[in-house]
Structure 1
Amino acid sequence: MPSTVKNATLLFLGRTVVRAQALLGDPAARLFGMSPARDPYPAYESVRERGPLVKSRMGLYLTASHELCNSLLRDPGFGTLPAGEFSPVDSAAYVGGRRLVNPVEESFLVLNPPDHTRLRRLVAPWFTPRGLREQAATVARVVEEYLDEVAGRPTFDLVGDFAARVPIQVVADLLGVPGADHRSFARWGSALVNALDGVRDLGELRALHNGLREFEAFLDDLIAHRRAHPGDDIVSALVKHEDLTREDLIATTELLLVAGFETTVNLIGNSVLAVLAHPEVRERLVEDPDHAEAVVEETLRLDPPVQYTVRFPFKSTKIGGTWVPKGTPVMLLLAAANRDPAVFADPHRFTPGRADGREHLAFSSGIHYCLGAGLARMEGAAALRGLFRRFPDLRAAGRVRRRPSRVIRGAARFPVSTGLAKDRSIVETIR
């Protein structure tokens, strides 16, 4: 069977199975089959109502429990991949005879120790408190630079014109990327992130392969440039390690570029949506720009960019009284855990500055706790301070278009008015 026909057949069969199981009430199928534009939180609550650990007919378990999610994220008996069962070649795509490196599958984001430990340690120094203090001036400069560009417009796209450009420029500076092309980075990142849900059609599969091919060509040139002209940046530091393979270098750099802006762009967009939906929060933020940090933290809890992750037990184990076979995926609904009433008072209410606000799992937990969490917080707060200082009357200027992803929640397009034109009321908010 030709590969294109085979791929199309598998995609069709997969969608058919999900739809059928969703009609039968399967909780995982309901989530996988749901449109990314829909509010996912009622579906998460339906999982919570079924108990701490819920079995799906699709061969996995789900949990909305904060206690279980936090426990499994920290448990060394669980990994991001089944132990000893993964080879990059298993899911490889080849273009022009060369295997494409997929950072979603081959970076330390999903590797288990000791490979995870080895690769993460190499880039960790740039994300320490000292490293973040050194980045503060860069973040503030980039925020003001892009606000200057939109300041004279009555309307602009919060995502494309601002929220995406800030983190892309910041992470590009960290990696030593000269003349960062934010539109190319955004396109490559979107192709990779959208694939986290599983490609829905052959068009998305081609977009993913084309994006990976372009991304790798760009990074091969960057790595070669930094070998010849080293600087004070992450790529220059990585290429000094002779034990790193080309695949290690590509996967690590791709991960930092994509994760470095995908989390933050959606954090900024979700934070602005929350502020516009709560006039009292806007008023406080305009009067006290430092309130931006509390707004960012509460957005991470109530409407986080990363909605869920998966863990696999290395051996058959009991979870909350239920035996789970070795290698069975357990879907950790982080966004649901962040609204667990056993941990958070009035969990569905947006309350910046709440006493329990830092108990969320938006950045995961354990050894895979997000390396760039501090940088994302810094960028998100700087973006909010700048936006509402420059535009205290900021309003939505049209319909918010959501990202076509269930794993990553955020806006793909978010038209806003600076107050220089007739405002239109917000039509979509977080719930």
Structure 2
Amino acid sequence: MENLLFLQSDVAEPFAVYARHLLQRPVAWDPANRIWAVYRHADCMRLLQSEAAHIPALNPGSESRLGETARLVAGRLARLANPPSHVFFRRGLTRLFDQLQPARIADLLDELVGDARQLDWVETVCAKLPMLAVMKGFGFSGEDIERLLPLGARLTQVMLPNKSPQQLADVDAVIGAVYPFVDRHLRQCSGLQAGEGEGDAEARAALNANLIGMLIQSVDAGRGLLANVLLQAMHQPCEPSRMSSAEWRAWVTETLRFDPPIHNTRRVLIEDIEIGGTWLRKGDAVLLVLAAANRDPAVFERPVEFDPGRVNNDVHLAFGAGMHHCAAKEFAQAMAAGAMSALFARYRVRLPAQEIAHAPLVNARLARRILVEVERV
């Protein structure tokens, strides 16, 4: 039987795999990994919106060995929470986004590119700009940003389901380093004030955890979006230097449909549910292949064509749906469109011939390196 879980680094054309499943096995069982995989847009949407499909818990044996502060953060992330606590954590996350101010993306891009004539777009820009935009948007000081920015990649280890002893130790260390900065900063935000009661202390902890969660999410998802939008701009027929802000927004939306950074997400069922004519049972694990759903011909005409003018591109599932839809949707799209607009307005950009390798991840297709040549206009 086919292994439905694979590393993106090992597969040259994952969309060919997805297309075959959409046609032949849209609801498939992987006995080796004991997980269902769901590929159709309608089926993914139903599960994303279903109260019967919960976010899987991180490995309890692993998480119990985290230190107190790291457990506090991991246990209060809206991204990982299920009802009833999810409502409380999501409310805190919404409050954070209400306070997030637009950053000057063009200026941040200039700072990162500097005087370079050749650079690794992933390392120089993609891995830093999204996290920078979040910290700048919350008004973090330059000194705090300088201390926190190098910790971004280490922060993402919080999301690993099975952490090695070394990863557990590193998560404890990095959360211990970041948490005091976040706590101190949010206490100074006038729109996020709380009292000193027990309920207020819990609200404060949820705010702190979910701002750290915003930083975590910005590192990989933001990195992947910036990388993929640039690749499409260089590979598709267009004149990037002449594109308007609205055109870049449409370009970003179509990239999210056509070549999203996050390819799948997981759920575990808390009750039986029928999906596409197949009964999935309580306790079953399910892989929702969002990248396949985004090319479902039942929803998108000419799904394998890149078309920013397509009228329904925005029904893609790259940001999920239902209670766990990504709260950073507007922020991420504006950030990516602003970065592309500034890049091609201020620089001549050339993409040398190269093979793009991807990180060894199951859920995300992230370019490891993109060599770019730039010249100031």
What TM-score, normalized to structure 1? Answer: 0.76
Partner in structure 2 of residue 61 of structure 1: 36
Could you tell me how far apart the structure 2 residues matched to 1:238 and 1:352 are?
48
8 Å CA contact 2:273, 2:281 repeated in 1 = yes
8 Å CA contact 1:69, 1:337 repeated in 2 = yes
Match of 1:157 among 92, 96, 120: 120
Structure 2: runs of 5 or more not aligned: none
8 Å CA contact 1:307, 1:334 repeated in 2 = yes
Considering Cα pairs closer than 8 Å and 6+ residues apart, tell me whether 1 or 2 has the greater RCO. 2
Alignment-mate amino acid for residue 244 of structure 2:
P
- Map 1:85-104 → 2, pairs under 5 A: 89-92=60-63, 94=65, 98=68, 100-101=70-71
Deviation, 1:175, is: 4.7
Could you tell me how far apart the structure 1 residues matched to 2:269 and 2:313 are?
29
Larger CA deviation: 313-322 vs 328-337? 313-322
Partner in structure 2 of residue 386 of structure 1: 342
Could you tell me how far apart the structure 2 residues matched to 1:164 and 1:233 are?
29
Match of 1:217 among 169, 176, 181: 176
Distance of aligned partners of 1:189 and 1:42 in 2 relative to their CA distance in 1, 3 Å threshold:
farther
Deviation, 1:246, is: 8.3
Structure 1: runs of 5 or more not aligned: 1-24, 421-431
Distance of aligned partners of 1:334 and 1:397 in 2 relative to their CA distance in 1, 3 Å threshold:
same
Could you tell me how far apart the structure 1 residues matched to 2:34 and 2:157 are?
27
Q: Secondary structure at 1:418's aligned position in 2?
A: strand
- Identity rate, percent: 25
Could you tell me how far apart the structure 2 residues matched to 1:192 and 1:335 are?
24
Match of 1:293 among 223, 236, 249: 249
Could you tell me how far apart the structure 2 residues matched to 1:36 and 1:177 are?
39
- Cα deviations across residues 389-414 of structure 1 (Å, max 9, x unaligned)? 11233324754342221212222322
Could you tell me how far apart the structure 2 residues matched to 1:239 and 1:365 are?
35
Could you tell me how far apart the structure 2 residues matched to 1:243 and 1:156 are?
45
Could you tell me how far apart the structure 2 residues matched to 1:212 and 1:409 are?
23
Partner in structure 1 of residue 94 of structure 2: 124
Partner in structure 2 of residue 274 of structure 1: 232
Partner in structure 2 of residue 8 of structure 1: none
Could you tell me how far apart the structure 1 residues matched to 2:131 and 2:339 are?
13
Deviation, 1:70, is: 0.6
Could you tell me how far apart the structure 2 residues matched to 1:320 and 1:220 are?
44
Match of 2:314 among 354, 358, 366: 358
Could you tell me how far apart the structure 1 residues matched to 2:253 and 2:178 are?
33
Distance of aligned partners of 1:238 and 1:253 in 2 relative to their CA distance in 1, 3 Å threshold:
farther
- Map 1:413-424 → 2, pairs under 5 A: 413-419=369-375
What is the total number of aligned residue pairs between the two structures?
Answer: 370
Partner in structure 2 of residue 77 of structure 1: 52
Partner in structure 2 of residue 347 of structure 1: 303
RMSD: 3.0
8 Å CA contact 1:93, 1:209 repeated in 2 = no
1:32 matched to 2:6? The reply is yes
8 Å CA contact 2:8, 2:365 repeated in 1 = no
Could you tell me how far apart the structure 2 residues matched to 1:337 and 1:111 are?
24
8 Å CA contact 2:112, 2:125 repeated in 1 = no
Q: Secondary structure at 1:94's aligned position in 2?
A: coil
Match of 1:111 among 66, 77, 81: 81
